[in-house]
Chains A and B, each alone.
Chain A
């Protein structure tokens, strides 16, 4: 999964992070993307707003559920992905049924600079979401390097 591996921003990978709630996690990840020069200062607010109206929580097959917050391209400088694994789950709303809550322990915050671009990376994220074993290894990663290595090594 080289496309995703290459777009992951090392300084925006938080492992065993203790987030208060979804807002806290998205803000922390978004601010890190901003510091690294990937998104504008409007990104966090826009991502949070979009999460409220059109949530991105995804119930998965394994024990861990995920969320993939993102927002419009105008808030993005260049494409990048932030990631967090959480020690305890936080609540996102279900993308398909917004009235339903999803307990999330894995977050990919996506900064996309063009519509319909980065298809390969997006497919690889779907590949991660569909692979409970890979998620298990990601949840056990202790350093950003290790997390990137786990993703790059996976050929599925």
Chain B
């Protein structure tokens, strides 16, 4: 797919956790010269927004029936495995 890709960043309330995750992804992609649309939402909103997304990054379990890759991670909060997750995100965006 050509053009800018969209990452849906989900957490429980779309207030705290996804704010940290969205900002961290934005900065990591900027460092790599990649631009993407990053959209925050509640886990419960994922099913209604997934059609416009190329990738979902979530800290909490989400239900996705569509064929959109999901990265389920706490790395942007805890720091554990953060570099690996950033690599995964970059890879998925290039698919």
Task: Render A64-92 as a binary contact track against B, CB cut-off 8 A, 1 for contact.
Answer: 00001011110000000000000000000
- Pick the contact of B13: A71, A117, A123, A129 (CB < 8 A): A71
Give the contacts of A78-113 with B (CB-CB under 8 A): 95-98, 110, 112
Residues of A within 8 A of B13 (CB): 50, 54, 70-72, 115
Residue B20 lies at the interface, judged by CB distance under 8 Å to chain A: yes
State A58–B74 Cα separation when bound (angstroms).
8
Residues of A within 8 A of B74 (CB): 58-59, 95-96
Residues of B within 8 A of A115 (CB): 13-15, 19, 40
Residues of B within 8 A of A141 (CB): none
The answer to whether residues A123 and B59 also contact, given A50-B12, A96-B73, A96-B74 and a CB cut-off of 8 A, is: no
Residues of B within 8 A of A71 (CB): 13
Residues of B within 8 A of A110 (CB): 16
The answer to whether residues A70 and B78 also contact, given A98-B61, A119-B23, A123-B23 and a CB cut-off of 8 A, is: no
B94 to chain A, nearest CB (A): 25
Residues of B within 8 A of A125 (CB): 20
- Pick the contact of A129: B23, B72, B78 (CB < 8 A): B78
Determine the interface band of chain B, counting residues with CB < 8 A from chain A: 20 to 34
State A122–B14 Cα separation when bound (angstroms).
13
| Inter-chain contact B16/A122, CB cutoff 8 Å | yes
State A56–B17 Cα separation when bound (angstroms).
9
Closest A residue to B23 by CB, please name it. Answer: A119
Residues of B within 8 A of A61 (CB): 78-80
Residues of B within 8 A of A97 (CB): 61
Give the contacts of B4-36 with A (CB-CB under 8 A): 12-17, 19-20, 23-24
Across the A-B interface, give the 10 residue pairs with the lowest CB-CB distance, nearest first.
Answer: A130-B79, A54-B12, A122-B20, A115-B15, A96-B74, A126-B20, A70-B16, A112-B15, A116-B19, A126-B77
A residues with a Cβ closer than 8 A to B are: 50, 53-54, 56, 58-61, 68, 70-73, 95-98, 110, 112, 115-119, 122-123, 125-126, 129-130
Kindly list 7 other residue pairs between chains A and B, CB separation below 8 angstroms, not including A95-B59, A115-B13: A61-B79, A68-B17, A72-B13, A95-B60, A115-B40, A116-B15, A126-B24
